[in-house]
Amino acid sequence: PGLATYDPGFVNTASCRSAITYIDGDAGILEYRGYPIEQLAESSTFLEVAYLLLNGELPNSAQLEQWTHDITFHTFLHENIKTFIEGFRYDAHPMGMTMAAIAALSTFYPDARDIGDPDNRKLQATRLIAKMPTLGAFAFRHGQGKPYVYPDNELSYVDNFLAMLFKMSERKYDADPRLSRALEILFILHADHEQNCSANAVRSVGSSGVDPYSAIAAGVGALYGPLHGGANEAVLRMLRRIGDVSNIPEFIEGVKAGNERLMGFGHRVYKNYDPRAKIIKQAADGVFEVTGVNPLLKIALELEKIALEDEYFVSRKLYPNVDFYSGLIYEALQFPPEMFTVLFAIGRMPGWLAQWEELSGDKEQKIARPKQVYTGARTRDFVPIDKR
C-alpha cells in the first residue's frame, strides 16, 4: 500500500540536493564547486581541491598554509592500528585492510560521534584525509612483508605517500616530480563524482547519524566492487588476458555476446567521453616518457579504437571512463593491481567527506530508507515442521 516509485539502482531518483559537483554526462562536463575539472587538473593541488570540496571555495594563501599544516599534523596513525594491520594474512587485499582500518579508527576517536559540532566534524575530516596515505602505504607494505615507513612531514602530501610506499633505505626518498604530479592529477580527478555508488553509501549510512569513520568505511566497501572503483584493477587484468592486439576482435565478439563487459567502458552518467579519461590519457603520455611505455598501452589504444567504431558500443553510448587508462599509469608507477582501488579511495576521500558534511547540515535530509515493491507471499498460516 502507498505510493512508491520503482527505481532499482536509482537511475532516475535524486536522493539529495547538492552544491558540490556538477556533471553534464551528455556534454562530458565535470565541475567541482563550479570549477572545470580540466582547470583544476592543470593548475591546482590535491589539498587545494580537498579544501575546495569541503569548504565551497578555493583557499587563499593563509588558508592553504593552515590547511596543509593541519593535514600534516594528523598523518600519523596510532601504533595499535599498525598492530591491527599486522593481524591480516600476508595476502590480504589492501582495500580490505584499508576499509577495516578506517572502521577501526572510529574506536580510536570516540569524539567523532559528536557529529552535531561543526568544528568536530572538521577535525575528523582532516584526520581522515591526513591518515589515508599512511593507511594505504601500511596496507601495501604489509602485503610485501616490508617494514612500515612513517610519514615524513617535510614532504608534500603526494611525495610523502610515495616515500611511505617505496622508501627502501635511510636516505631521503626523492620522487620524480613528474611522476608525483601525475599521481596528484589522478587524485584530483577522483576527488568527487556526486552521487556515485560509494558517495551514496556514505550518505545512506551517514544518515543514521553514525560517526564519519563508519560511514566512510561503507563508502570504501562500495568502491571495492568491480563495477565501481575495482574497475581499474579489472581493466589491467583484462588487457593482460587479451595479451595481444590480434586477440582483440575475438574478445570484442565475446563482449557483444554478453559473456563479459569491456571493463573501463560505459558509465551511468557519461554518455560521452568521460572528461577525466581525456586528462588521464594525456597524463599517461607524460608518465611513459619517464618510465617507458607500458606494453599494454598498445592493446588499450587499439581496443578503444575498435570499440568506438563498433555499432554495439556506439548505439549504447559506451565510451572509455576514468578507469580505462588510470591502471596503466598506476602500473607504470610500480603499483600492483590490488593497490589501484586504494589509490582511488585516497583521491575520493575529500569527496566522501564533503558529501557527508553537506548531509550533516541538510535539514531536509532524513534517514535513508527507501520503499520496496513487495513480491513475496501474502498472509498464510504457520506450518508445523512435521507437516512440511
Integer Cα distance of 300 and 248 in angstroms: 10
Please name every residue paired with 22 in a beta bridge, in sequence order, or none if there are none: 31
DSSP per-residue codes, 26-58: TTTEEEETTEEHHHHHHH--HHHHHHHHHHSS-
Residue among 215 and 303 whose Cβ is closer to ligand CMC: 303
Measured from the CB atom, the residue of 130 and 262 that comes closer to ligand CMC is 262
Q: Which is nearer to ligand CMC, 27 or 227 (CB)?
A: 227
Measured distance CA(99)–CA(348) in Å, rounded: 13
- Considering the complex, state which of residue 34 and residue 254 has its C-beta at the smaller distance from ligand CMC: 254
Cα 193 from Cα 170, distance rounded (Å):
39
Residue 321 is a binding residue for ligand CMC (CB under 6 A): yes
Q: Is 318 in the site for ligand CMC (CB under 6 A)?
A: yes
Interaction of residue 165 with ligand CMC, rule CB under 6 A: no
> Can you tell me which of 186, 322, 343, 359 binds ligand CMC, judged by CB under 6 A?
322
Quick one: which of 346, 349, 365, 351 has its CA closest to 115?
Answer: 365
DSSP symbols for 236-284: HHHHHHH-SGGGHHHHHHHHHTTSS--TTB--SS-SS--HHHHHHHHHH
Least separation, in Å, of the C-beta of 229 and ligand CMC? 5
User: Of 76-84, 212-220, 263-271, 347-355, which part binds ligand CMC (CB under 6 A)?
Assistant: 263-271
* Pick 151 or 229: Cβ nearer ligand CMC: 229
Q: Is 236 in the site for ligand CMC (CB under 6 A)?
A: no
Residue 319 within binding range of ligand CMC, rule CB under 6 A: no
- The single residue among 261, 302, 306, 310 that binds ligand CMC, judged by CB under 6 A, is 261
When asked if residue 284 is in the footprint of ligand CMC (CB under 6 A), the reply is no
The string over 343-363, giving b where at least 16 C-beta atoms fall within 10 Å of a residue's C-beta and e elsewhere, is: bbbbbbbbbbbbbbbbbbeee
151 touches ligand CMC (CB under 6 A): no
Q: Is 266 in the site for ligand CMC (CB under 6 A)?
A: yes
- Contact call for residue 278 and ligand CMC (CB under 6 A): no
Distance between CA atoms of residues 31 and 40, nearest Å: 9
- 195: Cβ contacts below 8 Å, ≥ 6 apart: 10, 14, 15, 16, 18, 203
Window contacting ligand CMC (CB under 6 A); options: 262-270, 289-297, 325-333, 365-373: 262-270
Q: Segment 45-84, which members bind ligand CMC (CB under 6 A)?
A: none
Distance of CA 109 to the CA centre of its chain: 23
320 part of the interface to ligand CMC, by CB under 6 A: no
294 binds ligand CMC (CB under 6 A): no
Q: Residue 37, interface with ligand CMC (CB under 6 A)? A: no
Residue from 227, 245, 290, 314 that binds ligand CMC (CB under 6 A)? 227
**Residue placing its CB nearer to ligand CMC in the complex, 206 or 230:** 230
C-beta of residue 26 within 8 angstroms of C-beta of residue 272:
yes
According to DSSP, the residues that pair with 320 across neighbouring strands are 265
Give catalytic residue positions. Answer: 267, 323
Whose CB is nearest to ligand CMC? 266
Q: Which residues are CB-neighbours of 89 under 8 A, at least 6 positions away? A: none
Distances (CA, A) of 4 to 8, 13, 17, 159, 259: 12, 12, 20, 50, 34
338 touches ligand CMC by CB under 6 A: no
Region binding ligand CMC by CB under 6 A among candidate stretches 19-27, 145-153, 265-273, 286-294: 265-273
Q: Please identify which residue in the block is written with the cell numbers 560521534.
A: 113
316: contact with ligand CMC by CB under 6 A: yes
- For the record, the C-alpha cell of 101 comes out as 582500518
Nearer to ligand CMC, 229 or 347 (CB): 229
Distance CA 252, CA 312 (A): 10
- Minimum distance from residue 125 beta carbon to ligand CMC (Å): 22
Secondary element (H or E) of residue 159: helix 157-166
Enumerate residues 193-222 that contact ligand CMC by CB under 6 A.
Answer: 196
Interface residues toward ligand CMC, by CB under 6 A: 196, 227-229, 231, 255, 261-268, 316, 318, 321-323
